[in-house]
Amino acid sequence: MEKALTKKYEYAWDKYSEEDLGKVFELGDRYKAFMSKCKTERECVVEMVARARENGYRDINEIISENGSLKPGDKVYANNRDKALALFMIGEECMEKGMNILGAHVDSPRLDLKQNPLYEDSELAFFKTHYYGGIKKYQWVTTPMAIHGVVVKSSGEKVNVVIGEDDSDPVFGVSDLLIHLSAEQMAKKASEVIEGENLNIFAGSMPARTGEKDAKEKVKRNVLEILNKKYGICEEDFVSAELEIVPAGKARDYGLDKSMIMAYGHDDRVCSYTSFEAMMKLDSCKKTCVTLLVDKEEVGSMGATGMHSKFFENTLAEVLHLCGGYSDISIRRALSKSKMLSSDVTAAYDPAYASVMEKMNSAYFGKGIVLNKYTGSKGKAGSNDANPEFIAELRNIFDKENVSWQTSELGKVDVGGGGTIAYILANYDMEVIDSGVALHNMHAPYEIASKADIYETMRAYYAFLVNA
């Protein structure tokens, strides 16, 4: 059929039958359950590994230890410290012909407890924090918070900690100054209203009932006694802990029509989850398909679990070896001939803040997955900038599969910008484009996404894995 001379991105909602609508809301319910449970990168990876194993995926280390091998149709995963995950379905074609890769990140902006966090001041107990990722600090005050993470004792025992999610749990928070005394505070720039060193978590106010009557820091002691009773940890164990302060409570339907989802961590778990769902739908594949979920994107993708590490490259080498085709040149060919959707979120147009958006090149709720040819800032600095040949291929795939898609850039040219893991994978000479769900309130404690966009993004990822 001949293409129309003009292009208009239609609302996905308009094409859905009642059956389709049911699928949209079913996926939304599964996603809400995941987001309510998984608020750290570790929780995401552990949950996904469990689900992957139920779907026939095997730990690559198990296969290696058994001197096993891989063949077309086999499913395998590599778990990097419970903070990054690579899932492979071996395709019918030789891997040197390239792979179809979905890549997202499972870390989100938050507050981290410092290594020596607990202190008492004026008979009140607090935890010191260091914020993680780009946040508006003033958004993180007077919000009910929970503690999620792990404490590793000197013995090596790992203790999982979750406080603030059960109805019987307490919650925590960062206090703010009452409006009656805020004249000086209100005169400050938004970036200075709350300083990073003042993002301290209020942890308790009751003194311990044990110990000497005139002992100092009895409120701090009481907090330590509670933690010791529940988790068997002491103050020194904070040194080898990874405890994250995140918004408490479940992901919720948003809007009277329940067309949206409010949750902590849409960036970028909405793309991680839809990538994972697409991967789990695969029964077979022509090319080897990969879903790569990494950590540390919000702070530059550094470290052993970030995209800059050799985790993916090393895992690919192991997979090629198990397939009987390992060599240095085979790795290089497999990477350079691969195609990747860098699965990450973008900004949805918000008429309340129209001045920073360019309407013709903005993403809109309900119009499907968003393709960002480039991100970066101002003069595309730090951007991947996808090739038009690859975009044309994706257009063809999505149109044939009736996937709703749109294009966008991240705000007006001179206003700001951002980056993703796209450029890191593009360094391997593969075709890469940013693609994902548009959000309101990005990097705030609670972000908003459209259920239609979540559904269309999952469908787009699946179509890409099968057809690219």
Whether the Cβ atoms of residue 439 and residue 424 lie closer than 8 Å to each other: no
Q: Where are the domains of the chain?
A: 12-108+264-467, 110-247
Distance (Å, whole) CA 151 – CA 310: 26
Helix and strand element counts for the chain (H, E):
12, 22
- The mean pLDDT value for 292-301 works out to 96
pLDDT, one tens digit per residue, over 347-360 is: 999 999 999 999 99
Query: What's the whole-model pTM score?
Result: 0.95
Whether the Cβ atoms of residue 83 and residue 305 lie closer than 8 Å to each other: yes
Q: Is the pLDDT of residue 1 over 60?
A: no
Q: What angle do CA 344, 348, 354 make, to 5 degrees?
A: 140
> What does the pLDDT read at residue 2?
59
Rounded alpha-carbon distances, angstroms, from residue 447 to 109, 352, 396: 11, 16, 31
pLDDT, one tens digit per residue, over 305-337 is: 999 999 999 999 999 999 998 999 999 999 999
Distance (Å, whole) CA 69 – CA 320: 10
Residue 433 phi, psi (nearest 5): -145, 145
pLDDT, one tens digit per residue, over 40-68 is: 999 999 999 999 999 999 999 999 999 99
Prior bond of 112 cis (ω within 30°): no
Whether the Cβ atoms of residue 304 and residue 311 lie closer than 8 Å to each other: yes
Whether the Cβ atoms of residue 391 and residue 341 lie closer than 8 Å to each other: no
Residue 77 phi, psi (nearest 5): -135, 155
Q: What one-character-per-residue DSSP string does 127-146 give? A: EEEEEESS--GGGGSSS-EE
- The mean pLDDT value for 275-286 works out to 97
Q: Which CATH class is domain 110-247?
A: mainly beta
pLDDT, one tens digit per residue, over 143-167 is: 999 999 999 999 999 999 999 999 9
CA-based nearest residue to 114, from 221, 241, 203: 241
Position 252: which residue type?
R
Distance (Å, whole) CA 56 – CA 50: 10
Distance (Å, whole) CA 461 – CA 468: 10
Residue 160 phi, psi (nearest 5): -85, 135
Whether the Cβ atoms of residue 341 and residue 120 lie closer than 8 Å to each other: no
Tokens standing for residue 1:
């059929």
Q: If you ran DSSP here, which 8-state letter would residue 110 be given? A: E
Distance (Å, whole) CA 391 – CA 32: 31
For the segment(s) 12-108+264-467, the CATH number from 3.40.630.10, 3.40.1280.10, 3.40.50.1820, 3.40.50.2000 is 3.40.630.10
Strands (E), 265-347: 288-294, 339-343, 346-347
